Chains A and B, each alone.
Chain A
Amino acid sequence: MNATFDGIEGHLAELESVWEAGMHEAYAFYRTRAEPAVALAAAMVESAASLQELGHRPPAPPHLLLGDLCLARASRLLASTRDQRLQVGFARAVEHVAAAAAGGPPSPPLRTLLVAAIGEAG
Chain B
Amino acid sequence: MITRRLDVPTSHATQFVDITSRLQEEVTAAGLLDGRLHLQSLHTTLGLTLHQNHGDGPTLLLLPACTVLVESGRLVLGRRQSVYAVEQDGPRLRQLALQLDGNFADRPESGRAGLDLVELELTRQLLVDPVAVQGPMRRLVEAGGKRLRPMLAVLASRLGAAHDPLRAAVLAAALELIHDATLVHDDYVDEAATRRGLPTVAAREGAARAVAVGDYYFAKATRMIAELGNADVTTTIADAVEAICLSQMDDVRLRGSYPGDYAMYLRVVRGKTAALFSAACRSGAQLGGARPDVVERLTRFGDLLGIAFQMADDLLDYSPSSGKPVGQDIRQRVVSLPLIYATEDPACGRRVHDLLAGPLDEEQVREVQELVVRTGALDRVGEEARGLVAAALRELDEVELDGVRPELTDLAQAAVDRIR
Contacts and interface: CB of A to CB of B under 8 A. Distances in A.
A interface, how many residues as a size bin? 35 or more
Contacts of A66: 249
B133 A61 contact: no
B161 interface: no
Interface stretch (A2-10, A23-31, A48-56): A48-56
Contacts of B219: 71, 90-95, 98
B185 A79 contact: no
A73 interface: yes
B245 A80 contact: no
Given A94-B219, A95-B220, A76 B242 contact: yes
Contact of A72 (B207, B208, B242): B242
Nearest to A59: B211
Contacts of A75: 222, 238, 241-242
Interface of A: 14, 48, 52-59, 61-62, 64-69, 71-73, 75-76, 78-80, 82, 84, 87-88, 90-95, 98-99, 101-105
Interface string B169-187: 0000000000000000100
B252 A102 contact: no
A101 B208 contact: yes
A74 to B, nearest CB: 9
B239 interface: yes
Given A75-B241, A88-B227, A99-B216, A65 B222 contact: no
A88 B208 CA distance: 25
Contact of A76 (B227, B231, B238): B238
> At the interface, is chain A mostly helix, strand, loop or mixed?
helix
B312 to A, nearest CB: 26
Contact of B212 (A55, A73, A80, A91): A55
B216 A95 contact: yes
A54 B231 CA distance: 30
13 contacts: A58-B211, A59-B211, A68-B245, A71-B218, A72-B238, A72-B244, A76-B235, A78-B238, A79-B238, A87-B226, A88-B223, A94-B219, A103-B132
B113 interface: no
Contacts of A91: 219-220, 222-223, 226
Contact of B226 (A88, A94, A101): A88
Nearest to B211: A52
Nearest to A49: B215
B399 interface: no
Contacts of A57: 208
A60 B327 CA distance: 25
Contact of A14 (B222, B227, B246): B246
Interface in B187-232: 188-189, 206-216, 218-220, 222-223, 226-227, 229, 231
A80 B242 CA distance: 13
A97 to B, nearest CB: 8
